[in-house]
Structure 1
Amino acid sequence: MLLTGAEILIKSLLDEGVETIFGYPGGAVLNIYDELYKYKDKINHILTCHEQGASHAADGYARATGKVGVCLATSGPGATNLVTGIATAYMDSIPMVAITGNVAQPLLGKDSFQEVDITGITMPITKHNYIVRDVNELQNIIKEAFYIAQEGRPGPVLIDIPKDITADKTQYNKIIPKEVVRKSEYITEKSLQEAVDLINQSKRPLIYAGGGIGIAEATEELLIFAEKINSPVSTSLMCMAEFPNNHELYTGMIGMHGTKASNIAATKCDLLITLGARFSDRVISNQNHIKNAKVLQIDVDPAEINKNVKVDTCIVGDLKVALSQLIPLINVKRNEEWINTINSLKENKKVKSDCGLTPELFFDKLNKLNDGSFIISTEVGQHQMWTAQYFNFRNERTFITSGGLGTMGYGLGAAIGAQVGKPDKRVINIAGDGSFGMNCNELVTAVKNRLPLIQVIMNNNCLGMVRQWQDFFYEGRYSQTTLDRPTDYVKLAEAFGAKAFRITEVDEIDYILRKALDSEGPVLIDYLINSDKKVFPMVAPGAPINQIISEEDINNN
């Protein structure tokens, strides 16, 4: 059967099980959009307000569902507008396929209208990318792209398709997608035994779990493993939702804004068991604090072993497979003295309602309303850290945030993707007023598609995290971090077609949250907080993570 390249693309996407595409049309992809029109009953296309929103939506869709997210943009500026979203997905190992159009092949390399070398631009931020030179290669390239995006350590793949390729015809025969098999060929008896010996000999183990747990769908294995060796569990930002936050072994987030229990445990443990984590500088900071501990690292990516921290032994392979093979081999442990020490470090601060509107109070109210169906996405900044510190995550794939790249403007697009992918859940995006201003136009996308997501703005009239650093390290010189914008976010949301509320008093929180949760469409909540509210605890950049700055320290200094 002879089909055009555009037809082959759409049929191949259907073969891969694609149900939703996020995108924005343009001249170089008109042939593709013409086919999407014909297949609109089989592929749901979400038209975003900006291509960056499309890339973040594809990312959020992938994180919430575990499927490959797909975004589509035209050539030139359309393609370059995807770059931030592609880089965000790359840093957090998210399976995504970005499809871009380009000018016809005879016009390539001639500075043609809306021409850009998008494969050259994205080479450092994709697992692989392609420019299709022959329509006969298109079908196999699509199959290969989806496989690469998912296998091993996932990541984004870009396919650049010149316009003449979408018009050229060739034979189409359905190809069954290649099965993605969990990597286990490097999990050896020797590596398992070395790990078992370290674990069995340890008296003060600490598990440091990263985003790889969720990617490998190894949340159940992590819980079984931790309970068998009775080890405290600390998590990176990317793993907050992959271990029950109310579990007795959970010590909270580790790192710059981590808990006292997690950070001090890292300095006192005799074995640091690192699962699917890359020892980010925001976690490890000064390495001297773990020099007395043995380090066991398990990761699917061999490039992560010994990259930032020298390990004593490692297992290279899929986390779900590795833990499944490791768990039967290890001894049951109690570590009672160590657990008592950890419990003494845990802080149980009661949330006060007499301090006005605070992030703690907002999340305390939200936690009480959570029936387990909430998916929380965030932008990047103080509000992101408050979310990690105060929201009680209960289920996997329910925390969607930009960790590695720290992309302001990420959350609303990602929330749209998550809500499309999980229509039975309620997605709540937590933003600062600075981050919200970057891609607030995507609220229109939520309105048009009647998505019942809730957009919360922690409105402190400043770029809070940068301002906090200016306060601590730049003697309070608030250079360009006080916003003083006259924008009325309630009126803005209503102009976009969304419902909106403003919270200015404590006794309004419960009522407005319930009103928002009862809404069938998108809702914005403008939550006014003090500009001087800071994220505590905090570890100064480059300092050991047990040198924790608390709010009391600041008040007493």
Structure 2
Amino acid sequence: MSDSTSPQATRSAAALLVDCLAAEGARRIFTVPGESFLAVLDALPDRPEIEIVTCRQEGGAAFMACADGAMNAADGTALPGIAFVTRGPGATNASIGVHVAHQDSQPMILFVGDVARGMQGREGFQEVDFSAFFAPICKWAARIDDPERIPEYIARAHAVAINGRPGPVVLALPEDMLAQPVPASILSRPQAVRPAQAVCPDAMATLFDLIGNAASPIAIIGGAGWNAKARTYFQQFAERIGLPVATAFRRQDAIAPDSPVYAGNLGYGPNPKLLDRVRNADLIIAVGARLGEATTDGYTIPTLEHPGQLLVHIHPDPEELGRVYRTDLALACSVDEFAEAAMLWDDSEIIAFDAGADAHAEWRAWATPQPSEAALDLAACVSAMRDALPADTIICNGAGNFAGWWHRYWRYTAYPGQLAPTCGAMGYGVPAAVAAALHHPERTVVAVAGDGDFLMNGQELATAAQYGANLIVVIIDNGAYGTIRMHQEREYPGRVSATTLVNPDFAALGAAYGAWSVAVETTDAFVAALDDAKQRSGIRLIHVLTDLERIAASGATISGLRARVRD
């Protein structure tokens, strides 16, 4: 047997790829196995430091990788989440996770086993042009045809995924390429840590001049590059000058909710007083946020037609600055470096604003549940969860009106404390909760899902059971695709089509996965079930049967929507 370091020694390209991932610091890979990357599956056991998580559907695997990358970013480790799927339907299933990572600005690498190089262009079995397919929804999509260039591609993929505006990268791996021998002398070339983008002192001086001249400023924070350092320093800075701070859509953990300047969250169903505050602001400071449709209330705020309103945008990717909105002052820099610079800047000439405290009081009034005669009141259920569960609980949810109750009434105290897709993808909550339970086994993790939402990826409870994940699942069942039903009632009142659901017994389904489960129909029953659940471990599922009439956390009802149209 020749020595592994001799010029004649070889290893498979797949083994080289796995070694490169290990050198980059990969700790966990989410996958649905496929024959197109059997060589990778064969090489992974030789790297026991990388945990393999076998999932039940490629969309779930990609959601888990996206959530894992989000948690890495929050920790400041700058490691993308990683998923491996097979070609054709495997890749198209996984594309939903790529889209979420793209719109959420989360670092992720999706590896796709591909047809052999000799089959390319012949419409071989399950062949797709992955570079063309994924290009619009990722930062970089490529195919590795030369196995000796694997270290180059892996290093570049990591750099692209974590730098600037973080996001997903897709690499296609031809099946025959992975099995090809390569010289053992080829070494991995791990990428350097994400470089800090310095803050321009002149720009900072201009920003503080703008703040000093403002009468009603507000900040909108959370997004690309946000991490624990950014959270700590920006909160200290904002509290010192009394600056109201709103969070971008589903970035509610970007600041502690008990901060005396926290003004609440933007997105769907926000506090109307917060929207008015943003509309009337003479200075908006957006930090990390990309100012997408949800955060800006359909691109109606900031109101840049307002001649007295100025926009300062701080973002790590210069291409994001001025992309949608005219920006009066643009700073391309790391948001955590900006936050630290702002906290350390001499602001002694700025008279502290009263607006921060006023905005916080408005948010507290909006986020405090009011008495209700409903048999099962979701606002009271969320309040009960706040009392029963640890402050550092991680809440994971997909898309649907059900999430609005948690957005309004939960306190996202810890960081990270919220895993939710800003692009509104259904089916995200359960896979994200599995990833969170594996990433943070010391913390309580809750997946909140609607009935329609849950059935899109609820099968990943099998993954949770297989890996001993501890999580609580709360399924809000109103027998409908509630968000679409709400829009339907607004546009075509009383004409119900395609939104009614006939659901399984979710408690029985949870039991089939090995979960402790219970169905509840009243608030008191929910509180009792939650108390029971927190005493247990493993998967705990609470099936919450609710009345469709109370369609949204904003207070909208089916009857009210119909009456509004009649009036």
* TM-score, scaled relative to structure 1: 0.92
> Would you say the 8 A contact 1:76–1:115 is kept in 2?
yes
Q: Separation in 2 of the partners of 1:255 and 1:38?
A: 46
Relative contact order higher in (CA < 8 Å, ≥ 6 apart): 1
> Would you say the 8 A contact 1:375–1:425 is kept in 2?
yes
The question of 1:35 aligning with 2:43 is answered: yes
Per-residue CA deviation, residues 531-555 of structure 1 (Å, 9 max, x unaligned), is 021325499xxxxxxxxxx99x969
CA RMSD of aligned residues (A): 2.4
Give runs of aligned pairs for residues 96-495 of structure 1, distance below 5 A: 96-172=108-184, 173-184=186-197, 187-212=199-224, 214-215=226-227, 217-284=229-296, 285=298, 286-287=300-301, 289=303, 291=306, 292-332=308-348, 333-339=350-356, 342=359, 345-346=362-363, 347=365, 349-352=368-371, 354-403=373-422, 405-483=423-501, 485-495=502-512
AA partner of residue 10 (structure 1):
V
Change (3 A) 1:454 1:249: same
Secondary structure at the counterpart of residue 212 of structure 1: coil
> Would you say the 8 A contact 1:183–1:300 is kept in 2?
no
2:533 alignment partner, one of 512, 516, 531? 516
Q: Separation in 1 of the partners of 2:564 and 2:334?
A: 43
> Would you say the 8 A contact 1:74–1:101 is kept in 2?
yes
Instruction: Using the TM superposition, give the Cα deviation of residue 52 of structure 1 relative to its aligned residue in structure 2, in angstroms.
Output: 0.9
Give runs of aligned pairs for residues 500-539 of structure 1, distance below 5 A: 500-537=517-554
> Would you say the 8 A contact 1:199–1:330 is kept in 2?
no
Instruction: Using the TM superposition, give the Cα deviation of residue 396 of structure 1 relative to its aligned residue in structure 2, in angstroms.
Output: 1.4
- How many pairs are equivalent? 542
AA partner of residue 190 (structure 2):
P
Q: Separation in 2 of the partners of 1:214 and 1:252?
A: 17
Instruction: Using the TM superposition, give the Cα deviation of residue 260 of structure 1 relative to its aligned residue in structure 2, in angstroms.
Output: 3.0
> Would you say the 8 A contact 1:409–1:436 is kept in 2?
yes
Per-residue CA deviation, residues 445-476 of structure 1 (Å, 9 max, x unaligned), is 11122211111111111111111111223223
Per-residue CA deviation, residues 121-168 of structure 1 (Å, 9 max, x unaligned), is 111111112211111101221122112111121111111111111111
* TM-score, scaled relative to structure 2: 0.90
1:57 alignment partner, one of 64, 81, 90? 64
Secondary structure at the counterpart of residue 14 of structure 2: helix
Change (3 A) 1:338 1:453: closer
Per-residue CA deviation, residues 451-506 of structure 1 (Å, 9 max, x unaligned), is 111111111111111111112232232221111x1411111111222221111122
Q: Which residue of 2 aligns with 1:499?
A: 516
> Would you say the 8 A contact 1:22–1:45 is kept in 2?
yes
Secondary structure at the counterpart of residue 264 of structure 2: strand
Change (3 A) 1:21 1:322: same
> Would you say the 8 A contact 1:213–1:275 is kept in 2?
no
AA partner of residue 50 (structure 1):
Q
Per-residue CA deviation, residues 409-466 of structure 1 (Å, 9 max, x unaligned), is 1111111111111111121111110111111111111112221111111111111111
Q: Separation in 2 of the partners of 1:239 and 1:9?
A: 34
> Would you say the 8 A contact 1:182–1:321 is kept in 2?
no
Q: Separation in 1 of the partners of 2:355 and 2:23?
A: 52
AA partner of residue 464 (structure 1):
G
Structure 1, unaligned runs of 5 or more: 540-549
> Would you say the 8 A contact 2:316–2:333 is kept in 1?
yes
Structure 2, unaligned runs of 5 or more: 74-78
AA partner of residue 475 (structure 1):
P
1:80 alignment partner, one of 85, 92, 106? 92
> Would you say the 8 A contact 2:311–2:329 is kept in 1?
yes
Q: Which residue of 1 aligns with 2:76?
A: none
Q: Separation in 2 of the partners of 1:388 and 1:394?
A: 12
Per-residue CA deviation, residues 301-338 of structure 1 (Å, 9 max, x unaligned), is 22222222222212111111123223333524454554
